[in-house]
């Protein structure tokens, strides 16, 4: 809903304001980037090369789309930008431009032949015959939102940049002594016996004196201080309140059903294997062997010399296969094989290893769901008009209550609520709506002034006003005396647990058998390990730290929450040759690669300083402002300033 409503005006307004924004600048906050030196018509300038807003917006849209595909479309624009996606995209573009300029200055040139070989040699673009497939190439380009021209340019730059950075990075190597020390530190394994001395198992320490109560009360003022409470009035323009009032005609249901057919019709899918050869005689031989009952993968290996991975095509729809193969594959039963089929790629025999017949839901099957879709869409449209009228009323001097009544949404009040949504009693505050952004806004809003109208996804809009603020205050001792006593008792029990743990450690280190000492402790001795320093999930961090401070057959204590653990190291194992431990050679190579990446990063930073980088902070913020760019606008189209070309 956020994008649906904003698409009507938000993008145009923000982009129109960009012309005003670029007249003033702000510092980015890093040494090589000073906002005042950036071109007014570019988001950033690298050397003498500009990064125009549309080019940056294109890359930002691609990255947004990629992340949404990765996380199943669950990320909003606000979340993506909160993760620093905009800055990450811009810094990547700046780095690439800085390296490209340096490559050009060094006279490095990448020929069309080099680009062609790189693209055609990429297995991502290989077809059934393990050769470059232009059709597969275009499918991948569409999936990732790139044009042929932009990808070719990207590959050309990558090759040039690799020539600049690759030689420096590949020359990095780690000293042998460094590798030895690091291997010993990372992969040494230790085993220990542990015994938990629980504070809760210690005897009741009795009642504290008044002096002790006052000491705890004063030492933990924050704990006994009541939080800030606010009384908040709000109006929620909820589309759900409108959907039930909307009448939907039969023809509207039919139109919506057809428009959303993909949601109600699941196409038939089949998991497919294939044997493909160029020789008809071989395919006939394969067909004969299969007719005799031979295993499909075995025949593919023996006759077609295919690896198992090449035999499996995965799960596909009829559109996912070559036209010459699709009809035959979707005509056979599950487990059956086709007759030999001729295609431009050779001779095939296909097998349907499993069949998912798909689902077709008629309008009658999903009538209520379609009605909800239409009602929601119309509610969104109606709510857009209502929100404008509501804001006009507020702008004309109406109170929150008056403006709400005018558009048919009454104001509601939440009395004395804290930041966590609790009332002064500690229970959940009455009347608190399921609007995640309401309380954060309420606790930053100024008292007595209506907030901005805030969008909340498919929940519509809300506006609030803070009517009263109760400042944080230390609760009187009389009202929290019982809580103070509980805190004192818990502290005393923890001290008793520490004392008991220390006594056990003293006895064990003096020679007493560890196993004879846990009779007075409710818990059993547990063996921890063997583990390395990095096995953080294997035990509490304080126990692992103590294990690596102690010598073999010695004991110590580690605090675990309010409890204490007696830790006795029983074995110290030097790095071995097991599967989880890299060899000296492997670790040395890994360290060399890490050093190479660090060196490459330093080289890029030096290149940035050499060519000069500036960022137009105001224009950057205008582009990344939620609602000001369409993350789908450029998908499948050419980026700005990119002319069509082909080297293949």
Q: What is the pLDDT of residues 169-206, one digit of tens each?
A: 666 677 778 887 888 888 889 999 999 999 998 999 99
Q: What is the pLDDT of residues 442-498, one digit of tens each?
A: 999 999 999 999 988 778 899 999 999 999 999 999 999 999 999 999 999 999 999
Q: Which residues of the chain form CATH 3.10.50.40? A: 189-223+479-573, 268-357
Q: What is the pLDDT of residues 525-541, one digit of tens each?
A: 889 989 988 888 888 99
Is residue 8 very low, low, confident or very high in pLDDT (cuts 50, 70, 90)?
very low
**Beta-ladder partners of 468:** 231
The torsion angles phi and psi of 148, rounded to 5 degrees, stand at -60, -45
Phi-psi category of residue 208: left, alpha or beta, with phi > 0 → left and psi -120 to 50 → alpha: beta
**Beta-ladder partners of 269:** 356
Relative to beta strand 269-277, strand 312-316 is antiparallel
Mean pLDDT of 337-360: 87
pLDDT for 536: 83
CA angle, 177 as apex, 175 and 179 as ends, to 5°? 75
pLDDT for 191: 93
Check whether 38 has a pLDDT greater than 50.
no
Q: How many helices (H) and strands (E) does the chain have?
A: 23, 19
Q: What is the mean pLDDT of the chain?
A: 80
Residue 60 CA to residue 93 CA, distance in Å, equals: 10
Q: Are 325 and 332 in contact (CB under 8 A)?
A: no
Least-confidence region, from 147-156, 182-191, 334-343: 147-156
Q: What is the pLDDT of residues 490-526, one digit of tens each?
A: 999 999 999 999 998 998 898 888 777 766 677 778 8
Q: What CATH number should be reported for the domain whose range is 228-244+380-471?
A: 3.10.50
**Which two three-digit tokens encode residue 645?**
């070309």
CATH topology of domain 2-169+598-624: Triger factor/SurA peptide-binding fold (1.10.4030)
**Beta-ladder partners of 470:** 229
Residue 533 CA to residue 186 CA, distance in Å, equals: 6
Asked if CATH classification 3.10.50.40 holds for the domain at 268-357, the reply, yes or no, is: yes
Q: Which residues of the chain form CATH 1.10.4030.10? A: 2-169+598-624
Asked if CATH classification 3.30.565.10 holds for the domain at 189-223+479-573, the reply, yes or no, is: no
Mean pLDDT of 82-110: 82
**Which two three-digit tokens encode residue 350?**
């296909």
pLDDT for 324: 83
pLDDT for 403: 94
Is residue 244 very low, low, confident or very high in pLDDT (cuts 50, 70, 90)?
low
Fill in the DSSP letter of residue 428: B
């Amino acid at each position: 809903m956020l994008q649906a409503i904003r698409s009507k005006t938000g993008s145009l307004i923000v982009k129109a304001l960009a012309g005003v924004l670029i007249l003033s600048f702000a510092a980015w906050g890093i040494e090589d980037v000073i906002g005042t030196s950036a071109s007014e018509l570019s988001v950033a300038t690298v050397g003498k090369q500009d990064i125009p807003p549309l080019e940056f917006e294109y890359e930002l849209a691609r990255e947004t789309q990629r992340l949404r595909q990765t996380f199943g479309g669950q990320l909003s624009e606000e979340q993506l930008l909160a993760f620093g996606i905009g800055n990450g995209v811009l810094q990547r573009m700046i780095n690439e431009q800085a390296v490209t300029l340096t490559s050009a200055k060094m006279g490095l040139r990448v020929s069309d032949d080099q680009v062609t070989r790189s693209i055609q040699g990429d297995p991502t673009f290989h077809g059934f015959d393990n050769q470059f497939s232009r059709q597969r190439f275009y499918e991948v380009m569409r999936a990732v939102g790139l044009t042929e021209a932009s990808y070719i340019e990207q590959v050309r730059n990558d090759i040039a940049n690799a020539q600049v950075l690759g030689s420096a990075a590949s020359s990095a190597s780690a000293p042998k002594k460094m590798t030895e020390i690091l291997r010993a530190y990372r992969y040494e394994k230790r085993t220990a016996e542990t015994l938990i001395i629980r504070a809760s198992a210690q005897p009741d320490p009795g009642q504290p004196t008044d002096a002790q109560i006052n000491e705890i009360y004063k030492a933990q003022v924050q704990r006994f201080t009541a939080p800030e409470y606010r009384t908040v009035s709000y109006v929620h323009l909820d589309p759900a309140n409108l959907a039930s009032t909307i009448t939907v005609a039969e023809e509207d249901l039919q139109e919506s059903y057809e428009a959303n057919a993909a949601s109600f019709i699941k196409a038939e899918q089949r998991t497919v294997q294939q044997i493909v050869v160029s020789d008809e005689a071989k395919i006939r031989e394969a067909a004969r062997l299969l007719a005799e009952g031979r295993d499909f993968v075995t025949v593919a290996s023996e006759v077609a010399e295919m690896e198992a991975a090449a035999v499996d095509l995965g799960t596909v729809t009829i559109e996912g296969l070559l036209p010459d193969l699709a009809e035959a594959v979707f005509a056979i039963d599950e487990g059956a094989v086709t007759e030999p089929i001729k295609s431009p790629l050779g001779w095939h025999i296909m097998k349907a290893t499993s069949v998912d017949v798909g689902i077709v839901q008629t309008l009658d099957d999903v009538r209520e769901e379609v009605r909800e879709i239409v009602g929601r869409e119309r509610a969104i449209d109606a709510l857009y008009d209502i929100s404008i009228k509501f804001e006009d009323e507020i702008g004309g001097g109406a109170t929150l209550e008056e403006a709400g009544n005018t558009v048919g949404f009454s104001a509601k009040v939440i009395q004395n609520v804290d930041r966590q949504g609790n009332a002064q009693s500690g229970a959940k505050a009455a009347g608190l709506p399921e609007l995640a952004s309401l309380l954060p806004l309420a606790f930053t809003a100024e008292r007595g002034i209506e907030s901005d109208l805030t969008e909340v996804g498919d929940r519509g809009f809300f506006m609030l006003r803070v009517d009263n603020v109760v400042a944080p205050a230390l609760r009187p001792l009389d009202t929290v005396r019982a809580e103070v006593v509980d805190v004192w008792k818990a502290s005393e029990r923890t001290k008793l647990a520490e004392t008991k743990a220390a006594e056990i450690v003293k006895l064990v280190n003096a020679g007493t058998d560890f196993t004879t000492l846990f009779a007075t402790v409710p818990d059993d001795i547990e063996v921890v390990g063997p583990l390395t320093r990095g096995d953080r999930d294997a035990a509490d961090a304080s126990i692992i730290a103590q294990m690596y401070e102690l010598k073999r057959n010695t004991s110590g204590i580690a605090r675990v929450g309010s409890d204490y653990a007696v830790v006795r190291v029983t074995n110290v194992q030097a790095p071995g040759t097991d599967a989880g431990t890299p060899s000296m050679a492997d670790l040395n190579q890994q360290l060399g690669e890490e050093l190479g990446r660090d060196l490459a990063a330093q080289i890029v930073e030096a290149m940035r300083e050499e060519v000069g980088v500036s960022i137009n902070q105001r224009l950057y913020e205008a582009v990344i402002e939620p609602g000001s760019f369409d993350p789908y606008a450029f998908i499948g189209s050419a980026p700005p300033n990119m002319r069509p070309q082909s080297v293949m």
